[in-house]
Chains A and B, each alone.
Chain A
Amino acid sequence: MLRRRTLITWFVIGWTILFQYETLRASYLSPLVGRPLPKFPLLFPPAGWIMFYNVDNSYGFAEVYGIRGDEPTLLDPHAIFPIKNVGYDNIRRNVLVSVLDGRRAGNFCQFLRRKFPQYDSFAVVYAQYPDLIETPDRVLRQVAYRCESHAARQQ
């Protein structure tokens, strides 16, 4: 009995310290000591509990255009990732921004060519509302990368 109580006590203390450390590490402890502190792997979010912690007037998102000839067509993001989550829409949680990273371009281009063979090539665009309140209709767009057709790549 005593052994079990001791084990539980140590577990509770260890868990609590870990929980507090991982919660405070990224935003508070690392700035305090002036260097990034190590993260405990496989548990707890990397930056603490930061749900909607910083929301400003700008809003960035990704657009994907399928191009046939010279004609670009905006692809429905729900057709790109058709997963129907229970009770919420992952696309509206801006899941598509994950494709903007140039290091993932090869993987995403391959994915697009398989899903939308009717297009010759694709353009992945970073779009941004610079100010949702002052200029709600103004959207800035910049091509993040292009997925060329097989023929163009061979040339």
Chain B
Amino acid sequence: MNIAQLWSRAFLERRPSASLGLFRLAVAWTVGCHMIPSFFHMEDTYLATAFKTQNFSFFPAWILRLVEGSPDWVVWVWVVLFCVALAAFTLGLCSQASGMLMTASCYYFYALNNVHIGTLSFDILLVTLVLMCVTGYHGDFLSLDSLRRGKDRPYKHLRPFFIQRLLQLQVAWTFWYTALSKITGGGNWLTDNPYYALMHYPPMGVVRDFPFREWIGQSPTLCYGLGVSCLVFEFTIPLCWFIPRTRKVSIPLGIAFQFMLWATLHVPTIFLFLFPPLMLLFIQPETIVGWIEARRAAHAERDRAVLLYDGQCGFCVESVKRLRVLDLFGWVDPLDFHMQPDLTKLNPLLTPEHCQSEMVLVEPNGQLSGGYQAFARLTRRLALLMPLAVPAHLPGMDWLGRRVYRWIATHRYLLHRSPACQTHCQR
């Protein structure tokens, strides 16, 4: 394989973007967990009354001056923008644009005051966010964007692999350079015994009061050994992520290492929420696609549920398209009831009148449900609808849902412009 082929395989090859869709959720969660708590005490963090420090080595002075002059109402506007952008990014609504707005908001608050959010790991998060803003590939899967496009099986959408590869390289380089800085250029992990010093940090220091801390702290030799082990781990584990044969072991080990860091030190939760998903990006996207396809095949072998809908209604046809996107594991098989010569073969209780009045779900065990009840059942079965399962079953939702559903079902021919609608509207 020559260099051009290697390069193409590493960065240019079109591969499923499913991993980036999943990673988007992890990034959104991390950003939310890091930023939102700082909004709960605005008078102490960002408003004019707050104590502020600025990061002159990160931001050009003109940006800091510009941001420093923000009146309080501008700060509040940025809070709203951040929350809207974060919500849209999480849901995958205009993923790239919402990602850019969210990143811009993070930069704004970082420039305004870096006391509460500015850490080295936040810089890593910003690097990740900037990479995520380069393309909208992360909006292909698990997103409202994919729902809007309505393309079947969005997890198989092929995209150039370079963003995922750069994210993989980012976490590997971060590990290597962190280890390198500990032994060169001012680092003292070989010449001194930093782990031993950490074990003796005062109670209000960065080290948590974890089990065996005192015992470990009694032995300088053990501490030195643990410090060197950390170094060896940080140097070798990223290499193992790139080797297919060692990947299965090295990814869980890397995640366990991050968990150990978080459990023993007061490091920002970025270590726990961002680094493990970065490591999971080493799982080949084809593996994820293969796993989803295997689940679909398993459902196809068993009896699948059937959803009967009105195929002459454009609104219903469009809704079914979106349902196919939401039905990640192929649990339900949507059928146009007009195309079924004998509905009683599916279930003896079914009639064309019933199917005309509302969508009907026939589950593999024969259970029938219609209208809002069918929707509520689907929220418990379709993986991507599950976030709605709890709200859909709250007290009172059945009453409200039935009425909303009835209104939509009655007006369904008016809700979508299609030849079928026009025909029915004239009726």
What is the minimal beta-carbon distance from A36 to any residue of chain B, in angstroms?
Answer: 11
The reply to whether A12 and B162 form a contact with Cβ atoms under 8 Å apart is yes
**A4 to B, closest residue via Cβ:** B160
Q: How large is the interface on B (under 10, 10 to 19, 20 to 34, 35 or more residues)?
A: 35 or more
- Residue of B33, B119, B124, B185 touching A93 (CB-CB under 8 A): B119
Given A92-B206, A111-B49; A59-B160 close (CB under 8 Å): no
The reply to whether A23 and B58 form a contact with Cβ atoms under 8 Å apart is no
Chain A contacts with B in 84-132, Cβ cutoff 8 A? 84-95, 98-99, 101, 104, 107-108, 111, 114-115, 129, 132
What is the minimal beta-carbon distance from B195 to any residue of chain A, in angstroms?
Answer: 8
Most buried by B among A86, A90, A136: A86
What is the number of residues of chain A that contact chain B, defined by CB distance less than 8 Å?
62
What residues of A have a CB within 8 angstroms of the CB of B131 in the complex?
A: 15
The reply to whether A81 and B44 form a contact with Cβ atoms under 8 Å apart is yes
**B115 to A, closest residue via Cβ:** A98
Main secondary structure of the interface of B (DSSP, over half): helix
The reply to whether A89 and B130 form a contact with Cβ atoms under 8 Å apart is no
The reply to whether A88 and B267 form a contact with Cβ atoms under 8 Å apart is yes
What is the minimal beta-carbon distance from B292 to any residue of chain A, in angstroms?
Answer: 27
What residues of B have a CB within 8 angstroms of the CB of A87 in the complex?
A: 33, 262, 268-269, 272
User: Which B residues lie at the A interface, using CB under 8 A?
Assistant: 7-8, 11-12, 33-34, 37-38, 40-41, 44-45, 49-53, 55, 57-60, 63, 107, 115-116, 119-121, 123-124, 126-127, 130-131, 134, 160, 162, 165-166, 169-170, 173-174, 177-178, 181-182, 184-189, 192, 194-198, 200-202, 204-206, 262, 266-269, 272
Q: What are 27 of the A-B contact pairs (CB < 8 Å)?
A: A5-B12, A9-B7, A12-B165, A12-B166, A19-B169, A27-B184, A27-B185, A41-B59, A43-B126, A46-B55, A49-B174, A51-B120, A53-B181, A55-B197, A56-B192, A83-B37, A83-B38, A83-B40, A83-B116, A85-B37, A88-B269, A90-B266, A95-B116, A98-B53, A101-B53, A107-B51, A115-B44
